[in-house]
Structure 1
Amino acid sequence: MAQDNIARILVADDLEYGDDGGERRVPSAQLRVAADLAGPLHSSISLVHAYDLPEIVPLPPSVAVLEGPYVAELKRALDDESSQLREDRPALDIVPSVEKGDAVAVLLADIARLGCDLVVVGTHGRRGLQRVVLGSVAEEVIRRAPIPALSLNPMSAPEPQYRPSRILVALDFSASMHGVFDAAAKFARAFGAALVLATVIEEWVYPVVQSASLLAGGFVMPLERDLREYANLRDEQLRELAAPLVASGLRVETRLIERAPSVSAALLGEARASQCDLVVVGHRHASRLEYALLGSVSRNVIRDASCPVLAVPSRH
């Protein structure tokens, strides 16, 4: 997100939901959100549905004959969603397309081919073994995409006319933090939203340090003092980050969360307590096995958040 604006948003539409029983489809949550964001961000939208056929060789004639009408129906569904959104947004630039192939491969190729700056995906909230075995197109795109990804889970799809007003920004003071910070500031300026800059110190740090101090001779108090100084340093760094944003006219709050059971739980709790309607987190490009079995802060936040989550890749 180094550019001044987010010129093109890619929306992955699985067409799994949205039929209200009438003649017209209800636009997907991810398309509605992208349309709400597109105006303030000065963006166009590429709406993509990827389909694939079973790998049967040779393809039965009955399947080949049906593929044409099937694709035509998919295109009609995307066109219907797009036209509905243009009814109250006549200037909305949206181009729908149906593409054949593996969904993840199609979306990643489109990101590169179209020069997209943001991808919007929806997750289905699978858990446990089902998630590990079946995986998730959305999570795989988030894990591998070189651009920020905005994700919606079944609990986080906002009401129509989405306009983020309070943005929680998860900062870990790593080298990749600046991408998270810049992306959050970009959204705050576009929507006039307040920023809540947050960093977390986990609970496990304290007993580990105390145990180490006892083994070293029982100097608990000096090490506790060091921890307090560390917390004060983080608090001061948050305020230093906030200062230029405040000077530029943005509303900024800071949160130092100490002795948290986990980073993701602390961030989710703060998002609820601060009534944030967008969370911005960083993530690294872990392997599929690491991502599925070991998890990550961003993965847990994306899975359980009650609002949209913007995941910014570490190398972006």
Structure 2
Amino acid sequence: MPVRDSALRCPPHGPCRVPMLHVDRILCPTDGSGCAGRAHRHAQHLAAHFDAALHVISVEEGDVDPDQGIGVEPASPRADLHGLKPGAGPVPAPRVRERAVAHPTAAGGILNYVVQYDMDLVVMGTHGHRGVRRLLLGSVAEEVVRKAPCPVATVGRGATAPEGLEGGTLLVPVDFSEHRFRVMAHARAIARVYGMALRLFHVVEVTALPDAYGVYGSPPDPGVLLDRAETVLDEEAESLRTKGLEVTLDVRGGHPAAEILDAAREDGAAFITLGTHGRTGLEHMLTGSVAEKVLRQAPCPVCAVKSFGRSLVDGDDIADA
């Protein structure tokens, strides 16, 4: 049974309420690498826009009992950071708290901090320094994306600076699962923040089974599936256009992760918003492995929206999977 989402559907009478992101606390893990520095710029930009507290932490891996919580050094406020509110010029520096965290693992330290300090959003790099002080290796970022109870925005090595996102395109992979409503609500709100156009994207993946499995009947015609998917996606695109958003759509056949990455590169996407879980079986689109491949290789920032946990959008009453 479809689950209603009041943030995505207009009431029968009266104006449609535009989803707004509500962000009070942003976490930005760092190890001093260039990739972490780029993530910090994006976190700083968002903190300034939302007037949110920005927590910048470094994780010292060591023999610490995780049951004792995380060891945290006193906060070190910074007053020399400045952000830009889109279209409004310089604004006062966000409230910044710098802390050193002790934990047996980098990912565990980040995740524990998210829970202990009730973070709304994590912004982190996808790669970092190697060695004992490593923090943002791909496996760490992927574990945080999988397990964090809040959305996670990842920033890769080649990501554009936050000021360069203005007026760009936000690529939104859609898998037609019920969780897409939460992803779409976040995408609409993020597009409003940066003044971006939405590009709805769907990949039809048909896997042919060998004759040894005794397949009965003919496999679905990819062309028919593409047409059906485009029809459904066009209906959703039209609904978004009535809310004042610029929306285009793209339906392709192929492997989801590869097609998403190709589309992002071809169109010069400024941002990607996707779900971390979707359908399973032949209709799957954004299972964990697909989302992880995208965040690992994406040429732009990626916001991973969970099918569970915290939502940054008001009125999101979608049931957790």
Same-fold call, TM > 0.5?
yes
Which of 270, 273, 290 pairs up with 2:263? 270
Identical positions, percent: 27
What secondary structure is seen at the aligned counterpart in 2 of 1:49?
A: strand
2:59 aligns to what? Answer: 51
**Cα distance change, pair 264–174 in 1 and its aligned pair in 2 (3 A):** same
2:101 aligns to what? Answer: 100
Structure 2 spans left out of the alignment, 5+ residues: 8-18, 66-72, 279-286, 310-321
**Cα distance change, pair 214–91 in 1 and its aligned pair in 2 (3 A):** same
Aligned letter for 1:93? P
Tell me, yes or no, if structure 1 residue 149 matches structure 2 residue 152: yes
Q: Deviations over 1:174-215 (max 9, x none)?
A: 12211211111111122221000001012x43x449x69996
Q: Displacement, 1:126?
A: 9.6
Tell me, yes or no, if structure 1 residue 14 matches structure 2 residue 30: yes
Confirm or deny: 8 A CA contact 1:8 1:117 kept in the other structure.
Answer: yes
**Cα distance change, pair 255–152 in 1 and its aligned pair in 2 (3 A):** same
**Cα distance change, pair 241–212 in 1 and its aligned pair in 2 (3 A):** farther
Whole-Å separation in 2 of the counterparts to 1:191 and 1:51:
31
1:191 aligns to what? Answer: 194
Structure 1 spans left out of the alignment, 5+ residues: 19-25, 58-70, 286-293
**Cα distance change, pair 94–162 in 1 and its aligned pair in 2 (3 A):** farther
Q: Displacement, 1:52?
A: 2.7
Deviates more, 1:9-18 or 1:248-257: 9-18
**Cα distance change, pair 281–274 in 1 and its aligned pair in 2 (3 A):** same
What secondary structure is seen at the aligned counterpart in 2 of 1:161?
A: helix
- What is the aligned length? 268
Q: Displacement, 1:315?
A: 1.7
Confirm or deny: 8 A CA contact 2:154 2:302 kept in the other structure.
Answer: yes
Confirm or deny: 8 A CA contact 1:176 1:315 kept in the other structure.
Answer: no
Whole-Å separation in 2 of the counterparts to 1:180 and 1:235:
19
What secondary structure is seen at the aligned counterpart in 2 of 1:136?
A: helix
TM-score by length of 2: 0.70
Which of 29, 38, 47 pairs up with 2:38? 29
Relative to total residues, which structure has the larger helix share, 1 or 2? 1
Confirm or deny: 8 A CA contact 1:47 1:95 kept in the other structure.
Answer: yes
Confirm or deny: 8 A CA contact 1:6 1:43 kept in the other structure.
Answer: no
Q: Deviations over 1:15-46 (max 9, x none)?
A: 4236xxxxxxx992112112223444x24132
Whole-Å separation in 2 of the counterparts to 1:115 and 1:10:
9
Aligned letter for 1:310? C
**Cα distance change, pair 56–174 in 1 and its aligned pair in 2 (3 A):** closer
Q: Displacement, 1:236?
A: 1.1
Whole-Å separation in 1 of the counterparts to 2:52 and 2:143:
24
Whole-Å separation in 2 of the counterparts to 1:56 and 1:31:
27
TM-score by length of 1: 0.71
Q: Displacement, 1:244?
A: 1.7
Q: Which has the larger radius of gyration?
A: 1
Q: Deviations over 1:77-109 (max 9, x none)?
A: x73xx6143698442322213143224344333
**Cα distance change, pair 238–126 in 1 and its aligned pair in 2 (3 A):** farther
Whole-Å separation in 1 of the counterparts to 2:94 and 2:235:
39
Whole-Å separation in 2 of the counterparts to 1:138 and 1:199:
25
2:242 aligns to what? Answer: 247
What secondary structure is seen at the aligned counterpart in 2 of 1:37?
A: helix
Aligned letter for 1:248? K
Q: Displacement, 1:245?
A: 1.1
Tell me, yes or no, if structure 1 residue 140 matches structure 2 residue 137: no
**Cα distance change, pair 160–282 in 1 and its aligned pair in 2 (3 A):** closer
Whole-Å separation in 1 of the counterparts to 2:108 and 2:173:
29
Confirm or deny: 8 A CA contact 1:13 1:28 kept in the other structure.
Answer: no
Q: Displacement, 1:300?
A: 0.3
Whole-Å separation in 2 of the counterparts to 1:86 and 1:198:
31
Whole-Å separation in 1 of the counterparts to 2:213 and 2:62:
61
Whole-Å separation in 2 of the counterparts to 1:191 and 1:160:
9
What secondary structure is seen at the aligned counterpart in 1 of 2:185?
A: helix
Whole-Å separation in 1 of the counterparts to 2:212 and 2:235:
32
Alignment of 1:150-165 (within 5 A): 150-156=153-159, 158-159=160-161, 161-164=163-166, 165=168
Q: Displacement, 1:295?
A: 6.5
Whole-Å separation in 1 of the counterparts to 2:101 and 2:145:
20
What secondary structure is seen at the aligned counterpart in 2 of 1:83?
A: coil
